A = this chain, B = another copy of it.
Amino acid sequence: MPKHVVVIGAVALGPKAACRFKRLDPEAHVTMIDQASRISYGGCGIPYYVSGEVSNIESLQATPYNVVRDPEFFRINKDVEALVETRAHAIDRAAHTVEIENLRTGERRTLKYDKLVLALGSKANRPPVEGMDLAGVTPVTNLDEAEFVQHAISAGEVSKAVIVGGGFIGLEMAVSLADMWGIDTTVVELADQIMPGFTSKSLSQMLRHDLEKNDVVVHTGEKVVRLEGENGKVARVITDKRTLDADLVILAAGVSPNTQLARDAGLELDPRGAIIVDTRMRTSDPDIFAGGDCVTIPNLVTGKPGFFPLGSMANRQGRVIGTNLADGDATFPGAVGSWAVKLFEGSASGAGLTVEGALREGYDAVNVHVEQFDRAHFYPEKTIMTLQLVVDRPTRRVLGIQGFSTLGDALTARINAVATMLASKPTVEDISNAEVVYSPPFASAMDIVNVAGNVADNVLAGRCRLVGTEEFVQLWEGRKDADICFVDTRLAANAVPLVEKYGDEWINIPEEELAARIDEIPRDKTVMLVCNTGLRSFESQLILDRLGLTNTKSVAGGMVAIHKIGGDI
């Protein structure tokens, strides 16, 4: 008898699992159900639909060749029965049945399954404060919410928006609202930085500066305490620090697994509420698979359970489930957490742990910051890319990499190179030797990825003694009270503006003249060496070490990094 598979959830993982399974077992019967009327869409595209870059919402629900993936599509092209506007109320694991309700008619019935797939997804976190039910307050996790926002904006009803949460969705929505619609947009983030958990605090400053340059207001370390409305519609966001006018509030404070159905069925969940699955994506019930935003999978960097609510995870896991439904033997070992986000001029991308995350995990972690051209420095079109490499000192193991650049594809070329290595516990040496492609229009002969490994090696050996960009800015601002001497090691022409502006406080001794002019450097102070990107200041540190002047620090990333975080110097 043909196998009957029931799939609950039809956005990303569900359809992928269903279609892959049908390819392997054409005789089987697959029923896929979803509460919504529209299924199989690219939810990650919502910010681009709201902005208008994606001109109609059907595109998010269409194949690359503009065929809308509706129940008819699944029936004809995939031989999969898709029941929309249908809710699953309960799973009876003993009986192998799911109780479902047609939300249009109210009709209830019981579906029998041989194997069940839970593609339950996630739900937006809602801060537990007053006013969340006011009109104009919404997450953007599904197409109905996306349309609500887009229609409100295009009808001219939104002049001030507040976004609660400074993660991916929050920042993408901020760009969408401010860039394309010119809406006064404010991001409020509870953590002390935007993109917490994904970028270091120092890198997050570059993202923040990119947003602020483009008139997005960012408040970090700030808590929403109440929303206030007028006539049932939101009018103000009250934080612990201020009151923000708002006629639209986007909830982007992360997501949580949507697993009540699994909990009621007695499946094993982790403390966060995510369904526990094995590497074959089977739940604690061998006849039930689960994947996507509703499960926990191993973090391959820490070895601990992780949570990776990302469309790409759902798609890849869906295929694994489809294979295993057909008695195949596919596995999904876990994830290192790779990501990318496009802002205004800049884009950020990363994989693995941030330095703060690594320290929290108990690693003796150090963050190595590199600024370098993203291709041969003599090649005309290029930009200076930022990379940060997170390294465990005692083992020299690389735990993560993050970066920021105006040329996003070139950045992802470096992040991808390391992301696919991370699970195999690469060392600093592996990064120094990483065989990224080389040709002057695409990379340097000693590429920035390799340089990040090299600098890490020098830092671990104590040859390169760095000070971080933010710390430098603080030291500079407090220079009147500190015994610090600032030495600009660039060529004179580059240093002139600062020398003219700051006089004795900003000494210029080009690297080339250090040996001859070493007496100009006071021996009783900490010497802060600065150049354009951190290369000449490191070389200067080595020269001074050789000459016995060792109380020096090299400013990681130099003036380029200082400007990228908006440092006022």
Interface residues of chain A, those whose CB is within 8 Å of chain B, are 12, 16, 23-24, 26, 42, 44-45, 48, 53-54, 59-60, 62-65, 67, 76-77, 79, 168, 310-312, 314-316, 319-320, 330-333, 335-336, 338-342, 347, 349-351, 372-373, 376-380, 407-410, 412-421, 423-424, 429, 432-443, 445-447, 450, 454, 458, 463, 490-491, 494, 511-512, 515, 532-533, 535-536, 539, 542-543, 545-546
Residues of chain B within 8 A (CB-CB) of A442 are 340, 342, 347, 349, 408-409, 412
How many Å lie between the Cα of A42 and that of B419 in the bound state? 29
With both chains docked as a complex, state the minimum distance between the C-beta of A436 and any C-beta of chain B, in angstroms.
5
Q: Select A412's contact among B63, B65, B314, B413, beta carbons within 8 Å.
A: B413
Q: Of B168, B408, B416, B432, which contacts A319 at CB under 8 A?
A: B432
A515→B76 contact, CB < 8 A:
yes
State in angstroms the CA–CA spacing of A441 and B45 once bound together.
Answer: 9
Chain B residues with CB under 8 A of A536:
65
Q: 9 A-B contacts, Cβ less than 8 Å apart?
A: A44-B376, A65-B490, A76-B512, A311-B438, A312-B445, A316-B446, A340-B443, A412-B443, A424-B424
Chain B: minimal CB distance from A226 (Å): 33
Please indicate the chain B residues that have their CB under 8 angstroms from the CB of A446 in the complex: 16, 312, 315-316, 319
Given A42-B376, A350-B437, 14 further pairs, Cβ under 8 A:
A48-B378, A53-B380, A59-B378, A62-B377, A65-B536, A77-B511, A77-B512, A315-B450, A335-B435, A339-B439, A340-B437, A412-B413, A412-B437, A418-B420
Say whether, besides A421-B421, A442-B340, A446-B16, A26 and B546 are in contact (CB < 8 Å): yes
Partner of A379, one of B45, B314, B429: B45
Docked complex Cα distance between A434 and B338 (Å)? 10
Interface centre among A42, A316, A423 (most CB of B within 10 A): A316
Q: Which of B420, B432, B511 contacts A434 (CB 8 A)?
A: B420
Measured CB to CB, the nearest residue on chain B to A349 is B437
A342 to B189, CA, bound (A): 43
Q: Is the CB of A429 within 8 A of B545?
A: no
Q: Which chain B residues lie closer than 8 Å to A445 at the CB level?
A: 12, 42, 44, 311-312, 314-315
CA distance A303 to B424 in the complex (A): 20
The residue on B at minimum CB distance from A172 is B439
CA distance in complex: A262, B438 (Å): 28
Which of B331, B436, B438, B511 is within 8 Å of A429, CB to CB? B331
Secondary structure at the A interface, as helix, strand, loop or mixed, is: mixed
Q: How far is the CA of A331 from the CA of B430 in the complex (A)?
A: 10
- Neighbour of A54 across the interface among B379, B433, B435, CB < 8 A: B379
Query: Which residues of the partner chain B approach A60 to less than 8 Å between Cβ atoms?
Result: 378
Q: Which residue of B lies closest to A538 (CB)?
A: B23
Q: CA separation between A424 and B424, bound complex, in Å?
A: 9
Cβ–Cβ contact A546 & B79, under 8 A: yes
Given contacts A407-B409, A417-B420, A432-B316, contact A440 B77 (CB under 8 A): no
Select which of B340, B414, B437 is within 8 A of A439 by beta carbon.
B340
Chain B CB within 10 Å — which of A67, A331, A436, A439 has the most? A439
CA distance A380 to B180 in the complex (A): 14
Residue of B nearest to A330 (CB): B429
Contact of A54 with B380 in the complex, beta carbons under 8 Å: yes
Most buried by B among A54, A373, A437, A542: A437
Distance in angstroms from A11 CB to nearest chain B CB is 11
The minimal Cβ–Cβ distance linking A4 to chain B, given in whole angstroms, is 17
With A373-B64, A446-B16 given, is the CB distance from A441 to B347 under 8 Å?
yes
